[in-house]
Amino acid sequence: MSRFCGAVAAGVFFALFGPLQAFSAEPVGQATLIRTEVSGETGPLVVRSPVHKDERIRTSQSGLGQFIFKDGTKLAVGAGSTVVIDKFVYDDSASVKRLSIKAAKGTFRWISGNSASSAYSIVTPAGTIGVRGTAFDFYVGPNGTTAIVLLNGAASFCGPGGCKQLRQQCDCVVATRGGRMTDPSKVDRSTLQTLSNPRALPFLSGDQQLSGALGGIRTSCGLASLRQDRQDRPQPQRQERPAPQAPQAPQQAPQAPQPSQLPQTPQQPPDMPDPPDKPDKPDHHHHHDRDHHHDWDHHRGWDHFGRGSFDRDRGRNWR
């Protein structure tokens, strides 16, 4: 039982402190530039962060890291890349006996340091790049297809199908995991079409900018115009979709107007009696009027209303 508990405790200790012990040795290099997000085995890296043997370095889809090793070798790791520092064997001087890295995917730039050319090697899924006092860019696609572009010096690429030598500036070789390999030829736009990635060589096209010695290589091998072409190309305009509208309620059939809503027929005002005529103004012919009224009274016959001669005479006298 005690042996079992001791084994469990040892396993827990290794799980907690094993990674820290693995990177507690003297570092083999350090970060000189970090953009966006670059991480190592212990977490995000910053400028001056040390890197160690067997450490895996990853960059985000927009990340960029620049590193320098103790012998002066410089390595740029572009966006969306993964690389492992595989072997690093010290020499007694400022050089190394062995410096090897494994590039799993992504974009890279390499500049050799003070060590012998035979000390360097870069392993890719399609083959191994041999260094001859060299500066070069290389790309490893998701399917393992690898391209190398020589910038200075000389290099070789060896795979299952043999080896190709790169001797002229901007010479390029493309190799597949299955062993097929192109002859060295000048890199151009068709190379990016072969790789099915217009940003496969971002340090040459200018999609990512390097600094220091890594960015001091002046040649772009004719690919710098690609970025400008993409910027000058009109971008398709996105048509905005109209915002969805709430469904409208079905229209109701018109209802018959209520009696109170019917238009009212204007009523004719009741006939009003004509105002009485104003009496004529009397004139000075009293005698004529008196005779006229006498005749009217006689014809109208006050006797008709049952009045006697007294009344008639009184009326005559009143007039």
Residue pLDDT, tens place only, 207-218: 999 999 999 999
- Residues 186 and 141: their CA atoms lie apart, in Å, by 20
Q: For the domain that residue 132 is a member of, what is the CATH number?
A: 2.60.120.1440
- The residues with which 89 forms a beta bridge, in sequence order, are 98
Domain of residue 114: give its range: 22-217
Label residue 86 by pLDDT band (50, 70, 90).
very high
pLDDT of 255 = 59
- Give the tokens for residue 14: 């290794």
Q: Are 140 and 125 in contact (CB under 8 A)?
A: yes
Whether residue 136 is contained in a domain is answered as: yes
So what's the pLDDT on residue 252?
57
Pick from 3-12, 65-74, 234-243, 275-284 the range whose average pLDDT is largest.
Answer: 65-74
Bridge-based pairing of strands 96-111 and 120-124 is parallel
Select, from the ranges 18-27, 90-99, 144-153, the one with the highest average predicted confidence (pLDDT).
Answer: 144-153
Helices (H), the chain: 2-22, 189-195, 202-205, 224-232, 286-300, 309-318
For the chain, what is the mean pLDDT? 78
Residue 228 lies in a domain: no
Q: How far apart are CA 258 and CA 59, in angstroms?
A: 78
Taking alpha carbons only, the member of 209, 198, 200 closest to residue 233 is 198
* Domain assignment present for 126: yes
Which residues lie across from 246 on neighbouring strands? none
Tell me, yes or no, whether 88 lies in a domain: yes
Choice between 309 and 174, residue whose per-residue pLDDT is larger: 174
Mean pLDDT value of segment 169-188: 96
Distance (Å, whole) CA 136 – CA 147: 10
Q: Is residue 248 part of a domain?
A: no
pLDDT tens readout for residues 289-300: 444 444 434 444
CB 23 within 8 A of CB 45: no
Between 21 and 189, the higher pLDDT residue: 189
* 287 in a structural domain: no
Whether the per-residue pLDDT at 155 is higher than 70: the answer is: yes
Q: Is the pLDDT of residue 1 over 60?
A: no
How many percent of the chain have pLDDT more than 90?
59
Task: Measure the CA–CA gap between 86 and 34, rounded to whole angstroms.
Answer: 21
Task: Specify if 223 maps to a domain.
Answer: no
- Whether residue 231 is contained in a domain is answered as no
Query: Residue 82 to residues 55, 79, 226, 271, 316: CA-CA distances in angstroms?
Result: 11, 9, 25, 109, 147
Phi, psi torsion values for 203, nearest 5 degrees: -75, -25
Q: Could you give the number of structural domains in the chain? A: 1
How confident is the model at residue 226, as a pLDDT?
A: 74
**Gyration radius from the chain CA atoms:** 56
Asked if residue 248 has pLDDT above 80, the reply is no
More confident position, 222 or 4: 222
Residue 114 CB neighbour total at 10 angstroms: 15
